[in-house]
């Protein structure tokens, strides 16, 4: 058997001293120099990445393991003749023959193929887990590769923190596939004053115009405290918005309807071309916020004041007097009425005078209380024999029937015009004109019993009339 029958299994390597192609020579030995099988690279490693070369190199069979003993009988040895070494040598020769029948390059190929297959499967799994994702954070997009399974893992992997007012699309927890887009929009606080009402709202818009659209606020014809293109930072901003409203103004017998974004009723009235003068005002507070569809009436007001002097009633203080008969009241000191000066504000609205309003009051004269004594003494018995006389006629003649009457000289007083001396002699106290009518009549009867009608020379005749 010639060595040429083995060359078909070997790679095209370097040539040794005895063997062709770096394979097994005619003697079954390796080339003298041993080529380290660089020639195997085209057969076993072509097309694979350099990353697999270490495994490929580890699987190669060293030159020293190639069979070195001759596979044919020695020259001059007959076929079937025993060879040196006996049966052991024969068994070695048989093993070498089987080895030659399965070439060394093929034996080296099997473990290398297994390694390559394992690495190729791992590479496929590696490539399958890698995803290309477009992540947009607050309007800034970027494409990245990730092994994250869902949106939550992706945000954590990228260090993107989201709060309760931030928006994530698709929602956290959504599974990811290569080519997906994930958007994160941060919430921004806005202190919004809308038509006089204050609100704290959150928006993911970057500009005032976008925020108004997001909040559904009609901006056409509205007043904005800042421009629509104003950007909103992460810290937010304060915004005052007054939408356009319809307000009806009634003034001086005319009605005007306007569209306005005024901040107060006064501004709306001025926009309608109406001037408020002096004390003029409106039916609603001029500083209040005008509402859509509201009707405002202008009130033409004139003001003046009036000072009046009003009486202050005096107090009556009564005290009991055991010297006076029951039912008798004697005025010890007459009362005096006080006086108060009061200032009133007068207001005329659209020609109609309103109810005066009291604005100031001061006492000009203090009132003086009246002191009255009230009798507690039991009433005296009647005077026998004189009750039937016409005492009322006598009183009418003497004093006009007035218990407190006093003559011009001040000497006589009461119904029957007693002088003080006579009055006291009859048991009376104080002045007769201060006693009750009943007591004066009683004292007059006693006087009649003593002296008859002589104390009343001009009117005594009335007693019998």
Domains and CATH numbers, the chain: 3-72+85-125 (no CATH), 131-185 (3.10.20), 188-242 (3.10.20.30), 245-299 (3.10.20.90), 304-372 (2.20.230.10), 380-464 (1.10.530.10)
CB-based contact 272:258 (threshold 8 Å)? yes
Q: DSSP string covering 442-459, please?
A: HHHHHHHHHHTTTT-TTT
Q: Which of 5, 233, 16, 6 has the alpha carbon at shortest distance from 103?
A: 6
Compute the residue count for the chain.
465
Q: What is the pLDDT of residue 295?
A: 95
Residue corresponding to tokens 């003749």: 81
Q: What is the pLDDT of residue 10?
A: 37
According to DSSP, the β-strands at 223-224 and 167-169 are: unpaired
Identify the three-state secondary structure at position 411: coil
Q: Which of 60, 3, 65 has the alpha carbon at shortest distance from 15?
A: 3
Q: What is the pLDDT of residue 250?
A: 94
Q: Which long-range contacts (CB under 8 A, 24 or more apart) does 143-151 make?
A: 146/176, 148/176, 149/175, 149/176, 150/174, 150/175, 150/176, 151/176, 151/182
Q: What is the pLDDT of residue 324?
A: 78
407-431 pLDDT, tens digit each: 999 999 999 999 999 999 998 889 9
Residue corresponding to tokens 């008969």: 325
Q: Supply the pTM of this predicted model.
A: 0.42
Alpha carbons 355 and 403: distance in angstroms, whole number: 45
Q: What is the pLDDT along the chain (465 residues), one digit of tens a residue?
A: 433 333 333 333 333 333 333 333 333 333 333 333 333 333 333 333 443 344 334 434 443 444 444 433 444 444 444 444 444 455 455 545 554 454 555 555 555 555 444 455 554 445 557 899 999 998 899 999 999 999 999 999 999 999 899 999 999 999 999 999 999 999 999 999 998 899 999 999 999 999 999 889 988 889 999 998 999 998 999 999 999 999 999 999 999 999 999 999 999 999 999 999 988 999 999 999 999 999 999 999 998 999 999 999 999 999 998 887 777 788 899 999 999 999 999 999 988 998 999 999 999 999 999 999 998 887 666 676 788 899 999 999 999 999 999 999 999 999 999 999 999 999 888 999 999 898 899 899 989 988 888 999 999 989 887
Alpha carbons 198 and 180: distance in angstroms, whole number: 40
Q: How far apart are the first and last CA of the chain?
A: 200
The dihedrals phi and psi of 344, each to the nearest 5 degrees, come to -115, 140
Alpha carbons 272 and 250: distance in angstroms, whole number: 10
Q: What is the pLDDT of residue 370?
A: 95
Q: How many CB atoms lie within 10 A of CB 453?
A: 16
Residue corresponding to tokens 């002191």: 371
Q: What is the pLDDT of residue 371?
A: 94
170 preceded by cis ω (within 30°)? yes
Q: Kindly calculate the radius of gyration of the chain based on its CA atoms and give it in whole angstroms.
A: 68
């Amino acid at each position: 058997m010639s060595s040429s029958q083995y060359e078909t299994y070997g790679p095209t390597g370097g040539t040794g001293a005895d063997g062709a192609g770096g394979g097994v020579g005619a003697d079954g030995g390796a080339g003298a120099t041993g080529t380290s099988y660089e020639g195997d690279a085209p057969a076993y490693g072509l097309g694979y990445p350099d990353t697999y070369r270490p495994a490929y190199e580890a699987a190669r069979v060293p030159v020293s393991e190639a069979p070195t003993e001759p596979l044919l009988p020695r020259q001059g040895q007959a076929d079937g003749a025993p060879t040196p070494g006996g049966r052991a040598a024969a068994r070695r020769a048989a093993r070498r023959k089987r080895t030659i029948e399965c070439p060394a390059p093929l034996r080296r190929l099997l473990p290398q193929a297994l390694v390559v297959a394992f690495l190729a499967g791992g590479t496929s799994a590696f490539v399958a887990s890698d995803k290309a994702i477009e992540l947009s954070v607050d309007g800034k997009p970027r494409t990245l590769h990730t092994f994250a399974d869902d949106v939550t893992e992706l945000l954590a992997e990228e260090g993107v923190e989201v709060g309760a007012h931030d928006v994530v699309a698709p929602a956290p927890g959504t599974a990811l596939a290569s080519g997906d887009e994930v958007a994160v929009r941060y919430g921004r606080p806005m202190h919004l004053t809308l038509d006089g009402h204050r609100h704290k709202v959150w928006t993911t818009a970057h500009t005032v115009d976008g925020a108004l659209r997001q909040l559904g606020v009609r901006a056409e014809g509205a007043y904005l405290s800042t421009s629509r293109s104003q950007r909103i930072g992460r810290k937010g901003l304060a915004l005052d918005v007054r939408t356009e409203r319809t307000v009806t103004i009634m003034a001086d017998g005319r009605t005007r309807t306007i569209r306005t974004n005024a901040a107060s009723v006064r501004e709306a009235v001025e926009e309608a071309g109406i001037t408020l003068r002096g004390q003029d005002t409106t039916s609603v507070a001029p500083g209040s916020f005008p509402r859509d569809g509201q009707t405002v009436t202008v009130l033409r007001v004139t003001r003046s004041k009036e000072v009046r002097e009003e009486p202050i009633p005096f107090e009556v203080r009564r005290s009991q007097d055991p010297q006076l008969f029951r039912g008798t009241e004697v005025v010890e000191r007459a009362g005096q009425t006080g006086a108060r000066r009061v200032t009133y504000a007068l207001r005329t609205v659209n020609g109609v005078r309103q109810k005066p309003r009291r604005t100031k009051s001061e006492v000009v004269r203090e009132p003086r209380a009246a002191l009255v004594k009230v009798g507690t003494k039991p009433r005296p018995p009647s005077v026998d024999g004189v009750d039937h006389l016409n005492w009322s006629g006598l009183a009418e003649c003497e004093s006009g029937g007035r218990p407190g009457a006093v003559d011009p000289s001040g000497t006589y007083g009461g119904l029957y015009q007693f002088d003080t001396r006579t009055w006291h002699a009859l048991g009376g106290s104080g002045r007769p004109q201060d006693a009750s009518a009943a007591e004066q009549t009683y004292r007059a009867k006693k006087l009649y019993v003593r002296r008859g009608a002589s104390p009343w020379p001009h009117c005594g005749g009335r007693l019998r009339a």
